[in-house]
Chains A and B, each alone.
Chain A
């Protein structure tokens, strides 16, 4: 029907599969997110880290260029190993990835709650799980674009320069990049979405995210350092994520008192609490007690 006919008409066309409908949400959200100049600047800036890492890899295999250019000897200076990958991943995640979460996540759920939009979503063949998946996939896609995808490419670049044997010997690094990125993306996304569902204003949500990441870590360090409570560290999302990364990359633990196992448990607890909050708050209508 053309618009000029202006009458009510039915729809007999094909329908999209149920499982794919949650992907409608990230597509719509990206249009809004990329309209923000601040986001765009940080997004491009966060891609600089893997670019620097790629340059590092390139130079480490082409030392002659630097030595010739600057007339210096750099034997063994730019080795590429698990420590280097972990260091670059660390910078990529904190602060770059964290800033992206701070910019994008606060309005993802809170705006819908503030504008009473949930009944519109949930009155359709679209349930709470679809909604949460849709909102999470906004963060998953964005953060994947700045974590495991570029760092995975850098890993492949390094393998290309060092040969097949290096790839086989260091496959653990590649796996660690992939798994740790997903662990970080999932925990960060869930915590951020839970805060977005729990609180209403962007500023408060950003402060709360900051508190969960930074102040909790400080408090955890205080419990660990001053009161000698080793489990205090488990309150810190940053430290537990770091410990999980060290376990996956097989590098030396900076805080030996925390086992990788207890770090995994802490992250699971953080995720479980976030999922619980999300399912409590994501409802078409809130029951007034």
Chain B
């Protein structure tokens, strides 16, 4: 379970400039128009794909904009690939691709000219930029529509052309802000598939901001949950899933109280999760067979038993219910 212990993410390691860290925040604070939006963010993240979760107004987009150098830090520092966002912004943008949340395009030009322009602005020479623009548009599935003007594109196509311009210069880090915003289910699936393909290419790191838990769960290895401008939780989804292997939910018929009492007597952590339902963490010393034996001894029937993984939704809901952790 994510648990979000302060020590786990509240401190940058003593070798804070470890090359493996993608993002390092050290007491980062950002104020816009005098209002604090982000406060005291400290974390070091090194995953290949990082999910940024939080309700609307939690500060996800502000954090992304700060990493891109759009907003100045009012306190603390932030580093991406070891480069300070304040002093090395240009070098940082050289290795970053950004897909903005809102509809963004250049009027009056075709997709291929648009993506070529973006590649050239990133420093690719004109001949290479044109070639890569074609490739990027084919890659996102817009090969047939690449000579059409951007104004004629549907929302789903505009999202994909935004992705194409974000990857055309082969950045080391791609920042995706709500990439599935406004997409219908098939378009969303296409976008998620693309993002997963990019992640699995192993050549790039991803930061995906979304308020859709499924998007993050499907695309990310690590998740940072923000709440009211502070870090509410941070977890490695793969480790969470591993640690939840012995997390069990059962439905006991004929006396769930007695079953719970018996579990408690054996030192098993449990919690009621509804009528006749009990969630428990099975200790290493016990097997599932032992649960049936305990129930049998009390004359209780176990009618359903699931290996319950702590879903991202659980993690997120717990983070939202709890106070910000560790004095963050």
Contact = CB atoms under 8 A, between A and B. Distances in A.
B134 A287 contact: no
Given A3-B138, A10-B170, A284 B104 contact: no
Contacts of A126: 93, 121-122
Given A8-B198, A13-B125, A124-B118, A3 B109 contact: no
A123 interface: yes
Interface in A102-138: 107, 111-112, 114-117, 119-127
A287 B33 contact: yes
Given A13-B124, A28-B113, A116 B33 contact: no
B203 A8 contact: yes
B78 to A, nearest CB: 16
Contacts of A124: 93, 118, 121-122, 169
A288 interface: yes
Contacts of A283: 70
A9 interface: yes
A183 to B, nearest CB: 30
B118 A116 contact: no
Residue of B33, B96, B113, B121 ringed by the most chain A CB atoms within 10 A: B121
Nearest to B119: A11
B143 A119 contact: no
Contact of A13 (B71, B96, B128, B167): B128
B182 interface: no
B68 interface: yes
Interface string B173-191: 0010000000000000000
Q: How large is the interface on A (under 10, 10 to 19, 20 to 34, 35 or more residues)?
A: 35 or more
Interface in B90-110: 90-91, 93-94, 96-98, 100, 102-109
Top 4 nearest A-B pairs by Cβ distance?
A15-B123, A123-B98, A11-B170, A284-B70
Given A7-B201, A11-B132, A11-B170, A120 B123 contact: no
Q: How large is the interface on B (under 10, 10 to 19, 20 to 34, 35 or more residues)?
A: 35 or more
B132 A24 contact: no
Contacts, number: 125
B138 A6 contact: yes
A16 B120 contact: yes
A142 B125 CA distance: 24
A7 to B, nearest CB: 7
Contacts of A18: 90, 123
Residue of B71, B120, B169 ringed by the most chain A CB atoms within 10 A: B120
Contacts of B103: 115-116
B309 interface: no
Contacts of B98: 119-120, 123
A123 B68 contact: yes
B35 to A, nearest CB: 9
A37 interface: no
B135 A119 contact: no
A254 interface: no
Given A7-B139, A124-B122, A126-B121, A32 B93 contact: no
Residue of A28, A125, A289 ringed by the most chain B CB atoms within 10 A: A125
Nearest to A123: B98
A11 B124 contact: yes
B168 to A, nearest CB: 9
